Amino acid sequence: MSPRAAARLESLGFTQLFDYVDGKMDWFANDLPAEGELPDAPYLGQIARRDVPTCRLGDGIGSVREQVHARGWDRCVVVDENGLALGLLESETLAEQADGDASAEAVMTPGPTTFRPNVPVAEIVHAMHENELDGVLVTTSGGKLVGYVSREDAQQAIRDSGRAEADGSREHGASRR
């Protein structure tokens, strides 16, 4: 839509034109400020762990496992050269793979479930519980990895937002006395 808008503005004689092609999803995915009427509930882009380990399709599972564990993680996202999320190496896979020569591509879970950064955390907590997901990948609509949200982090974010809301109510009540 923005390219069309830019083209229309150009035809109207405007000259200093710029198109922020990645749009507001890119902005919010990087936890930058927003204005608007959406409730102040957390959304995935705010809590996604951007330091989730990544590897490439051809990487050997043995070296991947070493690097993942050295960083304190137990899973890894398989990405291409453009950062597109292609698969997930689950903790069980990394633990079970005795053959260190297998490639990430051979043992990964392809096409993992992904969510957009602007999805409220509350919406996916139930889905994670129903589908017994330990966590989900957060990507842009183009499939580029933003980060990883574990079920624990999602639940904690909900608890924290509930406390923040309660504190806000108490403060508001106090100011009325």
Partner 1 sequence: MMVKAIDRDEVCRLLERGAQLVEVLPSKEYRDQHLPGAIHVPLDTLDREAPARLRRDRPIIVYCYDTQ
Q: Give the integer Cα–Cα distance in Å for 111 and 150.
A: 18
Q: Give the integer Cα–Cα distance in Å for 54 and 85.
A: 9
Tell me whether residue 23 or residue 83 sits nearer to partner 1 (CB atom).
23
Among 63, 131, 141, 169, binds partner 1 (CB under 8 A): 141
Between residue 111 and residue 140, which ones bind partner 1 under the rule CB under 8 A? 118, 140
Q: Give the integer Cα–Cα distance in Å for 170 and 106.
A: 54
Cβ at position 140, least distance to partner 1 in Å: 6
In the chain, the amino acid numbered 52 is: V
Q: Of the candidates 142, 45, 151, which has an alpha carbon nearest to the alpha carbon of residue 85?
A: 142
Tell me whether residue 35 or residue 130 sits nearer to partner 1 (CB atom).
35
Coil, helix or strand at residue 6 = helix
Between residue 8 and residue 47, which ones bind partner 1 under the rule CB under 8 A? 8-10, 12-28, 30, 32-38
Tell me whether residue 54 or residue 140 sits nearer to partner 1 (CB atom).
140
Binding mask 65-94 for partner 1 (x = CB under 8 A): ------------------------------
Among 1, 70, 98, 174, binds partner 1 (CB under 8 A): 1
Number of residues that bind partner 1 (CB under 8 A): 39
Q: Of the candidates 117, 115, 113, 114, which has an alpha carbon nearest to the alpha carbon of residue 43?
A: 117
Cβ at position 13, least distance to partner 1 in Å: 7
Task: Say which DSSP state 55 is in.
Answer: E
For position 58 contacting partner 1 by CB under 8 A, the verdict is no
Cβ at position 60, least distance to partner 1 in Å: 33
Q: Name the CA radius of gyration of the chain, rounded.
A: 20
Q: Of the candidates 47, 54, 49, 73, which has an alpha carbon nearest to the alpha carbon of residue 125?
A: 47
Q: Interface residues with partner 1 (CB under 8 A)?
A: 1-10, 12-28, 30, 32-38, 118, 140-142
